[in-house]
Amino acid sequence: MNPDLPHLEALAVVLEAPERLGLQRLPLTPPEAGDVVVDMEWSGISTGTERLLWSGTMPPFPGMGYPLVPGYESVGRVSYAGPDSGLRVGQRVFVPGARCYGEVRGLFGGAASRVVVPGTRLLPVPESLGEQGVLLALAATAYHAIAAPATSTPAHAALRAESAAGATATGASANSVAKADVGIAPVPHVELIVGHGVLGRLLARLAALGEGPRPVVWETNPVRHSGAEGYGYDVIFPDDDPRRDYRTICDVSGDAHILDRLVARLARGGEIVLGGFYHEPLSFSFPPAFMREARFRIAAEFQPSDLAAVRALLEAGRLSLDGLITHCVPATEADSAYRTAFGDPSCLKMILDWRTLP
């Protein structure tokens, strides 16, 4: 604890119970030597995890309970840096959450005007990113799904061979393509993505960076069919897709009843990656999956290395976050902002602007 710091408090979004949300002033835990104080600029609203917390449909897990401060997609500036924090005052950083509110849970605690957080949890971000920095968590989640170690099935071996042939035809080696993509494997191990929300769009943009077939995205809502132009992938209705030989499918729809439809589209030895979050049990018919020797993989929480890789792609100009933030409102309008984020299909990403607070 630093005795020279005044008593710290923050105005935070507090979810008191399902669908009951408001701003409250909360005392903050005093920072230790390795901590920093971050004055928030923007925080994003997650339409996956936070929707479940807001609606009360989040499955129980250790530490779950109300009241809570949500948010894990925040960007702000360091206003105090502990001597062991490794950061400096004035740096803009990405904040993946905080637990600094005493008896009020931080799940995940980033939706506040100010936070106290260990410096090791933060990622410095370029000034040029501005409010787009809140998308780093989603971009890292997408990268984690697409860059996970490839399985060694015949389907993936064929996909790698196609990519190597494509690289040779264009005069580039697989190694040079990999270097150009700043750590992205030369083969996108996702051919079909289900869902064209922000996470699906980021997955598609990442998949399109590598060699191999042009990625396809399924989207049932026509409102969300736009936005692929210029990014190297196609968005179609599922019923308009004739393919039945996808080698890797990544589902980010959150639909717990979709597996049988996806298995029917797999090649033999193909893989289904579960990149969304499901609050209902998943199930599938065994015989079709057996016939295809289907594999299932879960892509969970991103790691620091995923954040670093995404930042490198952004700095190299290989990945764009343009066109993904559709709504930005003052933090004082948090209650209506959450309802819009979860109820308006035209809202891809809602962010709260904390800079407008007096």
* Helix orientation angle between 136-146 and 304-315, rounded to the nearest 10 degrees: 110
Can you give the length of the chain in residues?
A: 358
Interior CA angle at 133 toward 322 and 198, to 5°? 50
pLDDT confidence of residue 58: 87
Give the ranges where the chain is alpha helix by DSSP (H). Answer: 49-55, 136-146, 154-169, 174-180, 198-207, 259-263, 286-292, 304-315, 334-343
Question: Which contacts (CB < 8 Å, 24+ apart) does range 255-258 have?
Answer: 255/194, 256/280, 256/281, 256/282, 258/194
Every domain range in the chain assigned CATH 3.90.180.10: 9-124+326-356
Which residue has 């998943």 as its token pair? 282
CA distance 247 to 267: 5
pLDDT given for residue 358 in this prediction = 74
pLDDT for 47 equals: 87
pTM for this prediction: 0.85
Q: What does each of the 358 residues of the chain score in pLDDT, given as a tens digit?
A: 555 666 799 999 999 999 999 999 999 999 999 999 999 999 999 988 899 899 998 888 888 899 999 999 999 999 999 999 999 999 999 999 999 999 999 989 999 999 999 999 999 998 999 999 999 989 999 999 988 654 445 555 555 555 555 544 444 433 333 334 444 444 356 899 999 999 999 999 999 987 778 899 999 999 999 999 999 999 999 999 999 999 999 999 989 999 999 999 999 999 999 998 888 899 999 999 999 999 999 998 888 888 888 988 998 999 999 999 999 999 999 999 999 999 998 999 999 999 988 7
Query: What's the pLDDT score for residue 185?
Result: 41
pLDDT at site 155? 56
Contact 182, 147 (CB under 8 A): no
- Residue 168's pLDDT is what? 44
pLDDT score recorded for residue 172: 40
3-state secondary structure the chain: CCCCCCCCEEEEEEEEECCEEEEEEEECCCCCCCEEEEEEEEEEECCCHHHHHHHCCCCCCCCCCCCEECCCCEEEEEEEECCCCCCCCCCEEEECCCCCCCCCEECCCCCECEEEEEHHHCEECCHHHHHHHHHHHHHHHHHHHHCCCCCCCHHHHHHHHHHHHHHHHCCCCHHHHHHHCCCCCCCCCCCEEECCCHHHHHHHHHHCCCCCCCCEEECCCHHHCCCCCCCCCEEECHHHCCCCCEEEEEECCCCCCCHHHHHCCEEEEEEEEECCCCCCCCCCCHHHHHHHCCEEEECCCCCHHHHHHHHHHHHCCCCCCCCCCCEEEEHHHHHHHHHHHHHCCCCCCEEEEHHHCC
CATH assignment of 9-124+326-356? 3.90.180.10
Alpha-carbon span 230 to 4, nearest angstrom: 52
Residues of the chain with CATH 3.40.50.720: 141-298
* CA angle, 41 then 332 then 15, to 5°: 95
Select the CATH number that applies to the domain covering 141-298 from these four: 1.10.8.590, 3.40.50.720, 3.30.70.330, 3.40.50.300: 3.40.50.720
Tokens representing 302? 């991103």
